[in-house]
Amino acid sequence: IRVQQRWVFAVMGFLALFNAYTMRVCLSMAITEMTVPINKTEKHERVCEIETTESSDKVIASSDLYEWDESTQGIILSSFYWGYVISHIPGGLMADKFGGKYSLGLGILSTAIFTLLTPLAVDAGGSTALIVLRVLMGLGEGTTFPALNAMLAQWTPPEERSKIGSLVFAGAQLGNVFTSTISGLILHYSPIGWPAVFYVFGAIGVLWFIVWTAICYNNPSEHPFISEAEKKFLHERMSEHTHAKPPPAPWRSVFTSVPVWALIMAQIGHDWGFFTMVTDLPKYMSSVLGFSIKSNGYLSSLPYLCMWFFSIFSSCIADWVITAGYMSTTSVRKIGTTIASIGPAIFIVGASYAGCDKYTVVAMFTIGMTLMGAFYPGMKVNALDLSPNYSGSLMAIVNGMGALTGIITPIIVGELAPDSTNEQWRLVFWIVFGVFVVTNLIFVMYASGEVQPWNDPEFVLNQRARRKGVEAGMEKERYSAC
């Protein structure tokens, strides 16, 4: 039985995001053990009881601790996104022109190398060196989503788009699950302390790159192992809207497209909520709820595990209702995005009113993040709907603008919750609520699941010919007037 290569790509794409997020997020866990604990000021009385059931097998690590306040930690955690935002557009252009294989692969490899160097950098230059290194990591990882989207456009037929897309993008959730759980165990048992976290995840990233370069290719026509039957199937199902070498992206049409701006707003809403949780949930579990590092690892991973299960379930339902003709692609994308916006908005705010009832808080975070899984058959695959030919560049714009929230949210947490009290965090979660609701409303009003006219190469070429004709006519009129 021959393995279908589009599913090999899907699994390796899943592992690409899995590794990208382990290396991106591991600092969020490690920083709770890298820093001297905050002394709560006396004016804040409602501090949850610190967990004292830490088992006696916890190893006393030899690693150093640093006196970084909440504001400094916020800047450190946001610095990754400074570089991440910058490399999105170049990454998308490279992926559309040359294919996503090496745009993605080399980006992950560079991130892995910088992850391995993190303990040395912190030891040599403290917080400043760590910020610089995180910016460099972001530059490498900024190519990830544009390159994956460019390859998804070449490998996923329309009727499998929700399933394959959701499988690939689910690597982000399971990367968070793995990072939170394994980091908690490493920080609990490792004799060298927090540096071990970076060594483990950096090494896994290098291993992934070796396998990726050996078995994955930009598109079916380049693949030496694909069966003729699968190549023919993919060509027949995708030739109408996907072209191997389309003309350069029609930027004017892209930036004046209402569905594109609706998608950008939905991405901003998703990333604001998701990055707040990814970056700062371990700190909330530790500083506010008082969980030990081992419990923190397990409980911080639970919401992402449930989110992954729900993303797969909702993706199967989405593909079924589209294929059976029960609902249009546009309706499915809007419903999925609404479930993934309003549900988390309600439960995340609700968690802040549960006080120090630790397991009620965890349950509400888990339910909220579970519902966020509907983003994946919702707005996450919408760029592929709008423009298969320019999906890499389109994802670069959409994901790049959404990633700006990764810069903002850790800084907001550092400024609004300097003492890490529940009351301070409640305001943070209300801001998340407002962003979710507003961005979802815009997406529901203006989004589309249909291929846009500017995806068609003939449309693009004709538009450019008309523009040149107009310019030539104007030039001729100027000469006639003279």
- pLDDT, tens digit (0-9, with 9 covering 90-100), for 279-289: 777 777 777 77
Can you tell me the mean pLDDT for 111-123?
Answer: 94
Q: Are 146 and 395 in contact (CB under 8 A)?
A: yes
Summary mean pLDDT of the chain:
84
Give tens-digit pLDDT for 358-392: 788 888 988 998 999 898 889 988 988 898 888 77
In 3-state terms, what secondary structure has residue 305? helix
Pick from 286, 108, 123: nearest CA to 193:
123
Domains 1-37+64-235 and 257-451 in one fold: yes
Q: Residue type for 183, please? A: S
Q: Give the per-residue pLDDT at 376.
A: 84
User: Would you say 22 and 276 are in contact if contact means Cβ atoms under 8 Å apart?
Assistant: no
Confidence bin at 436 (pLDDT 50/70/90): very high
Among residues 364, 427, 439, which one has the least CA distance to residue 401? 439
pTM: 0.73
Q: Which pLDDT score, from 0 to 100, does residue 293 have?
A: 58
Which stretches does DSSP call E strand in 105-150? none
Burial 78-116 (b: 16+ CB within 10 A, else e): bbbbbbbbbbbeebbbbbbeebbbbbbbbbbbbbbbbbb
Torsion of CA 69, 75, 79, 85, to 10 degrees: 150
- The confidence score (pLDDT) of residue 343 equals 93
Stretch among 3-7, 62-66, 476-480 having the lowest mean pLDDT: 476-480
Highest mean pLDDT: which of 4-18, 76-90, 290-304, 419-433? 4-18
Domain boundaries, the chain: 1-37+64-235, 257-451, 457-481
- Contacts of range 299-302, beta carbons closer than 8 Å, 24 or more positions apart: 299/362, 300/29, 300/180, 300/184, 301/176, 301/177, 301/178, 301/179, 301/180, 301/181, 301/184, 302/177, 302/362, 302/366
Distance CA 209, CA 95 (A): 17
Bridge partners of residue 66, in order along the sequence: 35
Query: Is residue 38 predicted with pLDDT exceeding 70?
Result: no
| One-letter amino acid of 475 | E
Q: Give 48-68 pLDDT, tens digit per residue.
A: 666 554 455 555 555 678 888
Q: CATH code for 1-37+64-235?
A: 1.20.1250.20
Question: Minimal CA–CA distance to 5: which of 164, 206, 210?
Answer: 164
**Residue 36: DSSP 8-state:** P
Per-residue pLDDT of 195-251, as tens digits, reads: 999 999 999 999 999 999 999 998 888 888 888 888 888 887 776 555 556 677 788
- The CATH class of 257-451 is mainly alpha
Side-chain-facing half-sphere of 264: CA atoms under 13 Å: 16
**Which residue, chain included where needed, has tokens 């009351």?**
423
Statement: residue 43 has pLDDT above 50: no
